[in-house]
Amino acid sequence: MSTQPKKKILITGGKVVDGSGNPWFYSDVLIDGDTIAEVSRNLKDKIGKDNQSEYEVIDATGKIVCPGFVDIHSHSDAEVYIDGTARSSVMQGITTEIVGNCGDSAFPMVGFLPERFGKMIFEYYGWTDGFPWTTLEEYLNVISFQGISVNIGVLAGHGSIRTAVSDYADRPLTESEWQQCERLLKQAMEHGAFGMSLGLAYAPGSYAATDEIVKFSEAVAEYNGLVACHLRSESADNVGLLAALQEMLTVARESGARVQISHMKCSGPGVWGLGDILVRMVEDSRQRGLDIAGDQYPYSASSSSVVSTLVPRWAQAGTKEDFLARLNEPALREKIKEAVVRNLVNIGGPDRLVMGRYPPKPEYAGKSLAEISEILGLDPAETTLKVVEPFNPQSVCYSMQEDDVQTIMKAPFVMVGSDGRAQRPEGILSNGPPHPRSFGAFPRVLSKYVLQNKVLSLEEAIRKMTSLPAARLNITDRGYVKQGFKADIVVFDPVTIKDNATFESPRVYPSGIDHVLVNGVPVVAEGKHTEAKPGIVLRHSV
């Protein structure tokens, strides 16, 4: 198949799962330009043999035809600039990514943010070339001009805005700082941001009290934007999972904002088994009229940096030099180690944390913190501080239970989000965070939780990947296989679909995703990337 479509594309013979949650049905799908022109049986016969040369035909016999997957929780902000083909995303059927999650967005590149954002991407990939934009408008223009294989929408990161204005200041914002933050947030909303994200478990988001979060959320609510939140806690630490969720229910009630609970989970032995309570709290709030929903990635392990997972937030305040100075002050070092010990208990112990890329000692990659502690002959807390002094590596944390994953997955208001990044198995992006979700989150739902374990029906799983997140974002022309909708389409084999990425080998493409169309253009054909970049920038309508 060519990488550019003819005037029309005809998908024939497949079972259409249209994204609504309704039962599948046999149908052909006619695509004209970037739009679905008709969904009907026997279109091939209607067109007639004489006219078939005008069409590019995809034979979907024995396959599922469904809307392209909408990844409501992605972190590909820098990655789609580094490589617009978004390889690991489109190869798993993602046609739209919403970036800027967990409080981190690639803008506004002013004040203290350029250094912080650049340092983060350097720690991921070794990338040192910088980023040629300042505002959201400039970011979107750069991405659009360069070309992308997926559609991109953006959330404004609360943490990024706070960093730009006050860096990692562990205190309330001054009135002047708040006014600057409000201006930057409203500018982003007017440039087309779909809302704001919060990373309340991370510095500097963790330095914001609830009243600050309400003020930011009120500003977003003026634009009918979404407030997506990584909760202040997902474990049994000093805040606690249920109290952290209650905080965001309060924010929703007091601000009037639509709230999205990011990657809902129960992380650590202290909260195992609370998945049903988590779901019921959201259900009860919805019954009381609060507009709250959530998303989830289909794994029982998370990924974050070692500092974010184990080091207390107060110790991260200020610059890297401030952090190192605290580590070199014996009394403060002991206080930090005490907090690290508590955090290790919360995740279930040092054997549950596995290191990713670590340039100072490459041999540490793939080893648990317990194994590295044994190598160094140090206790796990002291090992943690030794490791993060020169470099803050990404890690995988095996801190969840499968029963909670499935309980949360069954909730009708929970949609699928990868929490990943557009990567590839070779080149600079192969250095990325060591979690298989970037390559296999969406196929895993279909393979493991639909076909293998029967947790969800095929139709419900696809609804959670398509029309549900599209509706949550107020995207009205994607998420369904229906006449008049944009032609973001996935054709997959229900027999061979499988996420092949594992924690041991996380950078492997899935199998069974045969064709992916973005705006009517094949970006995956016969299981291979076509190099086409038909994706567009999506903007929230103010």
pLDDT digits (tens, 9 = 90+) for 439-470: 999 999 999 999 999 999 999 999 999 999 99
* Co-location of 313 and 182 in the same domain: no
Cα separations in angstroms, 358 against 122, 265, 468: 12, 27, 38
Q: Which domain-ending residue is among 443, 474, 505?
A: 474
* 418 falls within a domain: yes
Confidence (pTM):
0.95
* Co-location of 159 and 292 in the same domain: yes
Q: Which domain-ending residue is among 395, 418, 440?
A: 395
* 210 falls within a domain: yes
Q: What percent of the chain has pLDDT over 70?
A: 98
Q: What is the DSSP string of 405-447?
A: HHHHHHSTTEEE---B----SSSGGGGS-S-THHHHHHHHIII
* Co-location of 246 and 110 in the same domain: yes
* Co-location of 93 and 177 in the same domain: yes
* 335 falls within a domain: yes
Token look-up 């994200």 returns 197
Reported confidence tier of residue 239, pLDDT bands at 50, 70, 90: confident
* Co-location of 282 and 294 in the same domain: yes
Token look-up 């001054």 returns 174
pLDDT digits (tens, 9 = 90+) for 352-363: 999 999 999 999
pLDDT digits (tens, 9 = 90+) for 196-235: 999 999 999 999 999 999 999 999 999 999 999 999 999 9
* Co-location of 299 and 367 in the same domain: no
Give the Cα separation of 347 and 304 in Å (integer): 13
Instruction: Please answer whether residues 469 and 386 qualify as being in contact, where contact means their C-beta atoms are separated by less than 8 angstroms.
Output: no
pLDDT digits (tens, 9 = 90+) for 81-91: 999 999 999 99
Reported confidence tier of residue 237, pLDDT bands at 50, 70, 90: confident
pLDDT digits (tens, 9 = 90+) for 7-63: 799 999 999 999 999 999 999 999 999 999 999 998 888 876 656 678 899 999 999
pLDDT for position 42: 86
Residues in the chain: 542
Average pLDDT over residues 177-190: 98
Average pLDDT over residues 488-512: 97
* Co-location of 250 and 379 in the same domain: no
* Co-location of 371 and 465 in the same domain: no
Total domains in the chain come to 2
Phi-psi region of 378 (alpha: psi -120 to 50; beta: other; left: phi over 0): beta
pLDDT for position 51: 67
* Co-location of 381 and 429 in the same domain: no
Q: Which of 332, 346, 128, 333 has its CA nearest to residue 244?
A: 346
* 74 falls within a domain: yes
DSSP letter, residue 537: B
Residue 322, H or E segment? helix 320-327
* Co-location of 386 and 469 in the same domain: no
* Co-location of 192 and 322 in the same domain: no
pLDDT for 4 beyond 60: no
* 510 falls within a domain: no
Average pLDDT over residues 379-397: 96
* 47 falls within a domain: no
- Would you call the peptide bond into 312 cis, given omega within 30 degrees of 0 as the criterion? no
Instruction: Please answer whether residues 66 and 42 qualify as being in contact, where contact means their C-beta atoms are separated by less than 8 angstroms.
Output: no
CA dihedral sign of residues 489, 196, 347, 420 = positive
Average pLDDT over residues 51-76: 93
pLDDT for 495 beyond 90: yes
Reported confidence tier of residue 308, pLDDT bands at 50, 70, 90: very high
* Co-location of 81 and 160 in the same domain: yes
Q: Which domain-ending residue is among 395, 420, 436?
A: 395
pLDDT for 541 beyond 90: no
CATH of the domain at 156: 3.20.20.140
Give the sheet arrangement for strand 394-397, strand by strand: 302-305, 394-397, 353-355
- Domain of residue 186, residue span: 69-303+399-474
pLDDT digits (tens, 9 = 90+) for 121-148: 999 999 999 999 999 999 999 999 999 9
* 421 falls within a domain: yes
Which residues 6+ apart lie within 8 Å of 39 measured at CB? 16, 18, 27, 28, 29, 30, 481, 482, 483
* 532 falls within a domain: no
Q: What percent of the chain has pLDDT over 90?
A: 94
